[in-house]
Amino acid sequence: MIFFLPILVFAGILVALAVALTVAERLLVNYGICKIDINAGDRVLEVEGGQTLLSALIESKIFIPSGCGGRGSCGYCTINVVSGGGAVLPTEMPFLTRSQVRSGVRLACQVKVREDLEVRIPEELLNVQLFTATVESVRTLTHDMVETRFTLGEPAEIEQRPGQYVQLQAPSPEGPVFRAYSISSPAYETGIVELVVRLVPRGIGSTYAHGLKEGDPIVLTGPYGEFRLSEDPDAEIVCIGGGSGMAPLKNILFSVCERWPNRKCWLFFGCRSTRDVFYLDEFRELAKKNPNFRVIYALSDHDSRDGEWDGETGFIHVSVDKHLEAGDVKRQAFLCGPPPMIEAVMKVLEEKGFEEGDIFYDKF
Amino acid sequence: MGEVSPLVILVAAVFTNNILLANFLGMCSFLAVSKRIDTAAGLGAAVIFVTTFTTAINYGIYHHVLVPMGLTFLSYIIFITVIAAFVQFVEMFVERFSPVLYHALGIFLPLITVNCAILGVSLFMIIRNYTFMQSIAFGFGGGVGWTLAIILIAGLRQKMRYSIVPVPFKGVAIAMVITGVMAMAFMGFAGMVTIQ
């Protein structure tokens, strides 16, 4: 029996400490119910205190974009906190400019709800919805890219603008996280969402997306993004992309050609070699319907041993330089691809006389 | 040790028997957080708080539970558990009342759990047979001494950012060297008061 005494004493002390900690947690971590006032009285939420503003808003079906799942590493979840947020924390500083700090912009994932809060959220984000959907098809495009189509369940339709993105919920060891992907299906297909995902080794979102099978249920939120296409049918649309930057361009081009069958538009797409080429047939098909649509694919590391190639070779900004005319043309450019490509293309576009406000880009 | 006044023990713990500079305990968090004075002071404050209260709690448990039951061999594991639980409590406390400090300390707050200076203070209290008041004074003094040392070194390291350090000594190496120099400087206090 004597052997049990140390165990009993040790266990007793552990229990006592656990009880003390539980009591302390009740007293210290409990903030009661707090009110969150959105856009000066537009909506008032009552939420449990102690959690982050981001999770409180998501709980109330306001889907603030967040790529990293609330760990403070992506900087997407910026919202304006008018009062009650406390001081800006060192963890937020890398993501905020000085003028943002002055005007009260905060990272929602770092602000804790401790008292009543007043926040401002852009009207657009309030329209973001949570969709349940099922995988309709999974198509392998290249060795590391898949195209995944989802049939929306509840709600059954999405109202998106070309260039917008959704966030796909993916499981992770630390609970579900959201990862952002541009919508590649055109805006007129309201019942589905299609994504083009490149496999990133050990990436949480892309590994999940690549593992999906037909019929799997998924959850996504959206649409996000402020890009607006020019509504002027005389304005040219110039889409330039590379690598995994295809999705938003496909959406833009198919939507444009559907609405304005003769509108002038361009697609420049850069790949490494023939094994990275995809969607070329689809775009050639589209070009047959719209005589003013030009498709130019360029391979940067072309090797004749890899297979036949009848398109261009070299970096994509060289092709852009070759085909686009300089001068004062009404046009809008949308760039999506790796940063060095964007920088090279930007330089070319400026030489061609593009206004800075007419160039939109997505670097990653 | 019944006859030494707690005040003497307090002074000795800060200067002559500085837990960091005489016993070289608590080096890991010391080296990690001694780059800026304000975070060093914040961590120091947390350490003072934790050493003072954990010595008091550990004194109670040791003398009123472990000694009467003849279970003094359990003291290590129980001291560690008490410290861990108490750090949890401090974490909640700091998060509630000073979120800025909470974020500045970041991962270092849980690091106090494994700060050997805190366990060291509790164990010295047993070895040196302190009374309750002496233990509290020693716990508080130990914390203050550790804080004093880390703030002094942080001041030096902050200043050293602008000095030219030979490449092989950059970073932790030079911090160890100046800690050694500081420890020698503290030996100058040696004759002031003596405890074991």
Decide if A4 is inside a domain. no
Decide if A229 is inside a domain. no
Separation in Å, CA B28 to CA A66, B32, B115: 35, 6, 7
CATH number of the structural domain spanning residue A70: 3.10.20.30
Decide if B173 is inside a domain. yes
Decide if B74 is inside a domain. yes
Query: Could you give the number of structural domains in chain A?
Result: 3
Greatest pairwise CA separation for chain A in angstroms? 95
Say which residue, B180 or A60, is predicted with more confidence: B180
Q: What percent of chain B has pLDDT over 70?
A: 93
> How confident is the model at residue A149, as a pLDDT?
93
Of A101, A123, A145, at which residue does a domain stop? A123
Residue-number span of the structural domain to which B70 is assigned? 6-187
pLDDT digits (tens, 9 = 90+) for A275-316: 888 898 889 988 888 888 999 999 988 877 777 888 888 899
Q: Tell whether A139 and A98 lie within a shared domain.
A: no
Q: Tell whether A348 and A254 lie within a shared domain.
A: yes
Average pLDDT over residues A199-226: 87
What is the C-alpha separation between A43 and A119, in angstroms, rounded?
Answer: 10
Q: Tell whether A160 and A88 lie within a shared domain.
A: no
Q: Tell whether A240 and A358 lie within a shared domain.
A: yes
> How confident is the model at residue A133, as a pLDDT?
92
* A270 phi/psi in degrees, rounded to 5: -100, 135
Q: Tell whether A199 and A274 lie within a shared domain.
A: no
Residue A24 has pLDDT above 90, yes or no: no
Residue A346 has pLDDT above 70, yes or no: yes
Decide if A273 is inside a domain. yes
Say which residue, B3 or A257, is predicted with more confidence: A257
Could A21 and B88 be called an inter-chain contact, meaning their C-beta atoms sit closer than 8 Å? yes
pLDDT digits (tens, 9 = 90+) for A226-252: 777 888 888 889 999 988 889 999 999
Residue A39 has pLDDT above 90, yes or no: no
Average pLDDT over residues A201-209: 86
Identity of the residue in B65, B93, B104 whose CB atom sits nearest the CB atom of A90: B104
Chain B hits for A112, CB-CB cut-off 8 Å, are 99
- Please give the mean pLDDT across all residues of chain A: 86
Q: Tell whether A241 and A348 lie within a shared domain.
A: yes
Note whether B129 contacts A: Cβ–Cβ < 8 A.
no
Asked if A214 and A208 touch (Cβ cutoff 8 Å), the reply is: no
Q: Tell whether A198 and A132 lie within a shared domain.
A: yes
- Of the pLDDT bands very low, low, confident and very high (cuts 50, 70, 90), residue B58 is very high
Query: Could you give the number of structural domains in chain B?
Result: 1
Separation in Å, CA A344 to CA A221, A239, A332, B35: 33, 15, 17, 41
What is the C-alpha separation between B38 and B42, in angstroms, rounded?
Answer: 6
- Of the pLDDT bands very low, low, confident and very high (cuts 50, 70, 90), residue A268 is very high
Would you call A29 helix, strand, or coil by DSSP?
Answer: helix
Name the token pair of B125.
């209290």
Residue B1 has pLDDT above 60, yes or no: no
What is the C-alpha separation between B27 and B20, in angstroms, rounded?
Answer: 7
Question: What is the Cα Rg of chain A in Å?
Answer: 25
Measure in Å the smallest separation between the Cα of A84 and chain B Cα atoms: 13
Asked if A314 and A300 touch (Cβ cutoff 8 Å), the reply is: yes
Average pLDDT over residues B80-94: 86
pLDDT digits (tens, 9 = 90+) for B36-45: 888 788 888 8
Decide if B168 is inside a domain. yes
Decide if B196 is inside a domain. no
Would you call A241 helix, strand, or coil by DSSP?
Answer: strand
Decide if A6 is inside a domain. no
Identity of the residue in B81, B99, B103 whose CB atom sits nearest the CB atom of A13: B81
Label each residue of chain B as H, E or C: CCCCCHHHHHHHHHCCCCCCCCCCCCHHHHHHHCCCHHHHHHHHHHHHHHHHHHHHHHHHHHHHHHHHHCCHHHHHHHHHHHHHHHHHHHHHHHHHHCHHHHHHHCCHHHHHHHCHHHHHHHHHHHHCCCCHHHHHHHHHHHHHHHHHHHHHHHHHHHHHCCCCCCHHHCCHHHHHHHHHHHHHHHHCCCCCCCCC
Q: Which residues, at least 6 apart from B119, have a Cβ–Cβ distance to it below 8 Å?
A: B76, B79, B80, B83
Of A123, A138, A164, at which residue does a domain stop? A123
Of A89, A123, A157, at which residue does a domain stop? A123
Residue-number span of the structural domain to which A95 is assigned? 33-123
Q: Tell whether A247 and A327 lie within a shared domain.
A: yes
Q: In chain A, which residue's Cα lies nearest the Cα of B61?
A: A13
Decide if A111 is inside a domain. yes
Name the token pair of B128.
């040196």
Note whether A19 contacts B: Cβ–Cβ < 8 A.
no
The owner of tokens 């594991």 is B77
Q: In chain A, which residue's Cα lies nearest the Cα of B99?
A: A89
Q: Tell whether A273 and A358 lie within a shared domain.
A: yes
Note whether A6 contacts B: Cβ–Cβ < 8 A.
yes
Note whether B76 contacts A: Cβ–Cβ < 8 A.
no
Decide if A22 is inside a domain. no
Could B103 and A112 be called an inter-chain contact, meaning their C-beta atoms sit closer than 8 Å? no
The strand pairing partners of A35, in sequence order, are A46
